[in-house]
Structure 1
């Protein structure tokens, strides 16, 4: 039986439900939700839990990243020794265990691929997004070798960026799973990264998970435009504004500096 056959003919929520992943107009079965809606919720909750707890297979992911063409990625980790410790101690996820394998590159841009709170998101979308970023940056910026970071929080990128000696750090990280989306990536951009930077020093592009969320190419174009604006301004964060849709169009729009 199709969803249309299961829905009452007078289901006024049906048109709106097609435009959102939010749970709306779920219906009733007596004083409770219909069984189908309860099972959908349980399945979404299980997917979100798995997205958080199932660790990244870093070696397999590294092979896929190397195929993009930036060279062999460098693997680093935070001071969190396990997934359980990572979830209990956010502070350990913000500081590195050992960055001695990272070269000092002096590159324009460094890209970190981090598991964050959804390793699944990195597996599902990391290589596709990295490919779009490399294509967008081609001929514009010199890129450092890619870095894969495990048990990572956003601020770990400040240490990595400083060790790589890059002008701008692009942190691609798995976002906290929700009951609608379990595999969403975010990009955190920090110009002149160094330990001690705060969230006010970063720009975020979130909800990257095609086909339902932001697409790879659009996220890459937004990132490139923000890097251009950060280089003009000399910093990223609250002073750098994304003026979309002009920024993403064909009119050469740039982020607002102010």
Structure 2
């Protein structure tokens, strides 16, 4: 019957996920509302990738966490466009003369990655949660902010600082559901040439919908402890560490 209201069985399920489910139809196409939502999500993802990090403002915020004055390093990618076209340059540092070995166990690198927006939204909160989770167990180096950076840049930073473990907090590749998600990559005994098999990853950090800072930090702390006991991170730690990790 024309004008009849039909209950939508998907409505309650949509509140439980960010995935696009039960979108409906308008003839042979999607309803206009769903098409516009998709276009807006696509635009947000593109903006998150291309908008550069305001490094000076972010360094000021990071300095307020209390780990000492942060150091800014850059990759060899000279622009955002080159960074996207040349992933290899994002893995190599341009200049690390501002870093020197010290009496530290652990380094934390805050990298813009593929979503500088994620770092702006969640980087300082994640850093503060890590500091709280580690407590007094480790000597943490002053934070490093890395721009036009890929994960492997952290290996160079960790080696330059002479730390046992490096954690790279980086903006993850935006999707059509989430454009501001962080990932944490942990590497034991960092040095250039390490591969993804040598790392442990904690992903999807973007409260309130995604993983919360405190839970991600507790997981990172458990991984650091396991890596130091085992003497390795990555696939060996997952297979042999015996860790029961939260969320």
TM-score normalised by structure 2 residue count: 0.95
C-alpha separation in 2, matches of 1:99 and 1:9: 63
1:15 maps to 12
C-alpha separation in 2, matches of 1:232 and 1:146: 24
How many matched pairs?
241
Deviation of the 1:133 alpha carbon: 0.4
Higher mean C-alpha displacement, 104-113 vs 40-49:
104-113
1:82 equivalent in alignment to 2:62 = no
Unaligned runs of at least 5 residues, structure 1: 1-7, 250-258
C-alpha separation in 2, matches of 1:70 and 1:150: 19
Deviation of the 1:146 alpha carbon: 0.2
> Which of 225, 229, 232 is matched with 1:232 structurally?
229
> Which of 210, 230, 236 is matched with 1:213 structurally?
210
C-alpha separation in 2, matches of 1:12 and 1:50: 34
> Which of 52, 59, 62 is matched with 1:62 structurally?
59
Deviation of the 1:219 alpha carbon: 0.3
1:106-129 deviation per Cα after TM superposition (whole angstroms, max 9, x unaligned):
411100000000000000000000
1:110 equivalent in alignment to 2:103 = no
1:31 maps to 28
Higher mean C-alpha displacement, 97-106 vs 51-60:
97-106
C-alpha separation in 1, matches of 2:115 and 2:153: 16
C-alpha separation in 1, matches of 2:34 and 2:117: 24
Deviation of the 1:19 alpha carbon: 1.2
C-alpha separation in 2, matches of 1:90 and 1:20: 32
The 5 Å alignment of 1:153-164 reads 153-164=150-161
C-alpha separation in 2, matches of 1:104 and 1:66: 20
The 5 Å alignment of 1:170-181 reads 170-181=167-178
Contact kept in structure 2, 1:106 and 1:167, CA below 8 Å: no
C-alpha separation in 1, matches of 2:7 and 2:39: 27
C-alpha separation in 2, matches of 1:165 and 1:231: 15
C-alpha separation in 2, matches of 1:34 and 1:202: 43
Deviation of the 1:9 alpha carbon: 4.0
SS of match in other structure, 1:240: helix
TM-score normalised by structure 1 residue count: 0.91
The 5 Å alignment of 1:99-138 reads 99-138=96-135
Deviation of the 1:101 alpha carbon: 0.4
Deviation of the 1:16 alpha carbon: 1.9
Contact kept in structure 2, 1:173 and 1:185, CA below 8 Å: yes
SS of match in other structure, 1:149: strand
